[in-house]
Structure 1
Amino acid sequence: MRFKNVTKSFSGRIAIHHISFAIPKGQIFGFLGPSGSGKTTTINILTGQLAQDSGEATILGKDTRELTADDLLNIGIMSDTIGVYERLSIYQNLLFFAKFHGISTDYLDHLLKALDLFDDKDKKALDLSTGMKQRLLLIQAVLHTPKLLFLDEPTSGMDPTLSQEVHRLLVSLKEKGVTIFLTTHDMQEATELCDEIALLYKGKIIEQGAPQDVIDKYSDKDKVVIRFQNGKSITVPKEETVNYLEQHILSIHTMEASLFSIFISLTGENFEHD
């Protein structure tokens, strides 16, 4: 999967500007940015739903503007623009796709149990909560183990336990060679899950690389934060730590940055409130 100097505008407003990245097979790529930064536009170009104004976009070895119906069978997409049959149950919706792709009902049941939908499988899609519909769409996207998987905020609104189940599912798909393009607001999720991330701001990539490499680039490894049992804390050079070991210390931490703090330092804006 590759993007090279891709630009897209809508009515004169630039949505993405000279964006480039390449994603090797079997990796999880995190595309991080606030609402309106260009994440969905990028997915729509990669999946052939939009044509870029300039630059190159390729998946499955083809220009995304030339994808065929057969190519789309190798792609899984989860986003809030993907519909379901609202008068059918969870199970009926997914059984349709399972039969279409020749997937066993045993594997379908496995996914329903993994994402805690099995006991509710007879509920109509019309009556589902946002979180339940989110999980239905995720199963629909991964059911046929596609070569490429595009996930738009897959764990949004999920509790931590379910989010971890989703992470385990995505890692298992990665181990099968599935390439995953993931957008998320959750910086911690990206840090733990992704092989590489790109920070997107106002249509431009402002930082890119393996999550820990990006974190290390902006971390101050020469200082530590010492927290004392009386509630006070100080920041000192690492070599001075020994001077405080006789005191009532609660914890000692290195000055490691987070993707969240890095985004704020680069843009001056809160990631969650663009």
Structure 2
Amino acid sequence: MGKRVIQVERLSKKFKDQVALKEISFSVHEGEIFGFLGPSGSGKTTTIKILTGQLAQSSGHAFVLDQAVEQINESIYEQIGIVTDNSGLYDRLTVYHNLTAFARLSNVETSRIEVLLKRVGLFEHRNKIAKNLSKGMKQRLILSRAMLHQPKVLFLDEPTSGLDPVTMEAIHALLVELKENGTAIFLTTHNMEEATKLCDRVALLNDGLIVEHDSPKALTLKYNQDKRYRILLKNEKEVLLPHTYDSIQKINEWLTADELLTIHSCEPNLEKVFLEVTGRELI
């Protein structure tokens, strides 16, 4: 792993009588997509607000780029990007002028705007007024603004919620590219398929507690208690076999006779893991 850019140690947050976070601990490294997963109300957005200096923790410690979150100042915002459901645009400005306004604030060369708009598929829409954009276009513009100054850490709170599959795929490709260039991405989502596809590691959050923490693959294998294989034969017959010696022998026979088309292990997906660990569904 690369350098650690986020460190959280026994972080808690209380709102009057409600406990939103309960002594959570984790770290995120450069060049990593870290998924912070859980249902609505589990504490995901609260965590982002604390890590970005928008909300004070009740106890514990957190550091972003080696700076304690309670001491975050303007200089840190030159190195991080934030996309939340509160991220707004200048509705009366064009796509291009939305980004030029932010470029001036961030001391970014305006030449980067054209490059970024082409990358997110908004260049041909650069002269459109922001309020006339579709939801997907607005989300790509908000992401573009968050990435304009090439942040070391990017906080994304449900960035693809409600988007169509084509737009979602484009955003996923962009996030992978950012990761490969060394950006650390802190991604909150309740979309477990998205997390499985994108994330190097995930933390499963339930009622303010981290109940599991590992790579998506490691978690699905850990909770694969009933090992089975789903077989599709050339005669289009589907067979579900338990993990036994007899099943292995049968699979070898089909392979030798060239009768086997596909074979899949049946480990649970992340959503099923979350359900098993917490007893509740993602809603």
> Shared topology, TM-score over 0.5?
yes
> How many pairs were matched up?
272
Alignment-derived partner of residue 18 in structure 2: 13
> Which stretches of structure 1, 4 residues or longer, exceed 6 Å deviation after superposition?
none
> Partners of 1:238 and 1:43 in 2: how far apart?
46
For structure 1, which segment, 6-15 or 172-181, has the greater mean C-alpha deviation from structure 2 after superposition? 172-181
| TM-score, normalised via structure 1 length | 0.90
Following superposition, the deviation at residue 121 of structure 1 comes to 1.9
Q: Does 1:243 align with 2:227?
A: no
- Judging changes above 3 Å, is the alpha-carbon distance between structure 1 residues 71 and 247 closer, same or farther for their aligned structure 2 residues? closer
Note the C-alpha offset of 1:86. Answer: 1.2
Q: CA deviation at 1:164?
A: 2.8
Check whether the contact 1:215–1:258 (CA below 8 A) recurs between aligned residues. Answer: yes
Query: Structure 1 residues 238, 141: closer, same or farther in 2, change over 3 A?
Result: farther
Deviation at residue 220 of structure 1 after TM alignment: 4.4
Mark the CA change 1:234 to 1:210 in structure 2 (over 3 Å): closer, same or farther. Answer: closer
Tell me how large the CA RMSD over aligned residues is: 2.2
* Contact 1:86/1:124 (<8 A) preserved: yes
The aligned amino acid for 1:71 is: I
Q: Please give the secondary structure, in 2, of the residue aligned with 1:88.
A: coil
Distance in 2 (CA, whole Å) between partners of 1:109 and 1:231 is 54
1:111 aligns with one of 116, 140, 162: 116
Matches within 5 A, 1:28-43: 28-43=33-48
Q: Measure how far apart 1:15 and its partner are.
A: 0.9
Question: For 1:129-166, what per-residue CA distance to the aligned partner results, in whole angstroms no more than 9, with x for missing partners?
Answer: 22221111111101111121101112223333332322
Of the three residues 276, 280, 283, the one matched with 1:265 is: 276
Q: Which runs of 5+ in 2 are unaligned?
A: 1-5
Confirm or deny that 1:168 pairs with 2:173.
yes
Candidates 173, 184, 204, aligned match of 1:179 = 184
The residue type equivalent to 1:127 in the other structure is: N
Deviation at 1:102, TM superposition (A): 3.8
Code of the residue aligned with 2:268 in structure 1: it is: A
Match of 1:202 in 2: 207
Residue matched to 2:3: none
Query: How far apart, CA to CA, are the structure 1 residues paired with 2:13 and 2:250?
Result: 56
| Same amino acid, percent of matched pairs | 44
SS at match of 1:85: coil
TM-score (ref. length: structure 2): 0.88
Asked if 1:253 is matched to 2:260, the reply is: no
- Could you tell me how far apart the structure 1 residues matched to 2:179 and 2:250 are? 47
Residues 247 and 27 (structure 1 numbering): CA distance in 2 closer, same or farther, change over 3 Å?
Answer: closer
Secondary structure (helix, strand or coil) at the match of 1:205 reads strand
Does the 8 A contact of 1:9 with 1:15 survive in 2?
A: yes
- Contact 2:228–2:240 under 8 Å retained in 1: no
Instruction: Give a deviation string over 1:1-23, Cα, whole Å, max 9, x none.
Output: 11111111112111111111011
1:162, 1:130 → 2: CA distance? 10
